Amino acid sequence: MEITLNELTKRYGNKTALNGVTLKWEDGVQGLLGPNGAGKTTLMRLLATLLTPTSGSAVIDGVPLKEKHKIRQLIGYLPQEFSFYPGMTVMDALDYLALLSGVKAAVDRKRKINELLEAVNLENHRKTKVKALSGGMKRRLGIAQAMIHEPKLLIVDEPTAGLDPEERIRFRQLLASFSENRIVLLSTHVAEDIESSCREVTVLTEGSVPFQGSIAQLAEQARGKVWTAEMDNAEWRAASQSFRIVSAVAKGGSRMSVRFLAESPPLAEAEEAEPTMEDGYLCLVKVRGKLQ
């Protein structure tokens, strides 16, 4: 299974949402990381054939993106915002969506639905109406519907929104088990979801891709640019006016352990720190060559 993008571009009038993106994704959970407004949802919607590119091309498992009917048979899609028929039960909604997705045999639909309800921890809510579900439950139902026909490409856009910590862990495990011989494209702005789930990460910002590689390689983007120092609240407030602060952790009393991004030591007492994936991401997306 492989996805290739070649100079894929999408414009809305004078606004360029995706600017000549060229890349390749292979089997496994692939992370798409970027801030809000970076172009992630536009890219997801292009791959789901809900939008048409302005220029460029994409091929999914050997099928050109322009062959929409064939592409839609290959993919499952969980967008940021989705809805179900509120008066249906969970079981009826999934059965209907499975039928629409081409799962014709009732016995196959029932088997698959039972497996998915257990996987997303909704087996005790099969008779609950959709309108009575909590936000997190609806999100889990959305995950189940995207997987119902066992697509070769599963596209999930901000999938852990509204999930509690235990549900997030369950979801990551579900994606990992589902991704064998498939591509799961996980789009998010939450670095933790990428670090816990993905074999590779693609950073998208301002419609372009400044990085594609492993988690470790992304962390290396911040090598020599991460510093820590201990200071009091007044010093921290002063430092925040001049330097990019990644985090500040209380140490007791008025003292804080502060983590900076800077090209050189921001303070005389600052010590170089081991970079994390999030540090590398912030160097690429937030700072973009403007470190102090």
In the chain, domain spans: 2-213, 220-287
Percentage of residues of the chain with pLDDT beyond 90: 55
pLDDT for residue 291: 45
Q: Which residue has the higher pLDDT, 80 or 70?
A: 70
Q: What is the mean pLDDT of residues 229-254?
A: 85
φ/ψ of residue 9, rounded to 5 = -135, 140
97-104: long-range contacts, CB 8 A cutoff, minimum separation 24? 97/145, 97/148, 98/148, 98/149, 101/148, 101/149, 102/73, 102/149, 103/148, 103/149
The 10s digit of each residue's pLDDT in 135-147 is 888 888 988 999 9
pLDDT for residue 244: 87
Q: Which of 94-103, 213-222, 235-244, 246-255 has the highest mean pLDDT?
A: 213-222
Superfamily of 2-213 according to CATH: P-loop containing nucleotide triphosphate hydrolases (3.40.50.300)
The 10s digit of each residue's pLDDT in 200-228 is 999 999 999 999 999 999 999 999 999 99
CA count, 13 A, side-chain hemisphere, 191: 12
pLDDT for residue 292: 41
**pLDDT band at 286, cuts 50/70/90?**
low
* 66: pLDDT strictly greater than 50: yes
Lowest mean pLDDT among 12-26, 30-44, 79-93, 158-172: 158-172
Judge whether 140 and 161 are in contact, CB under 8 Å.
no
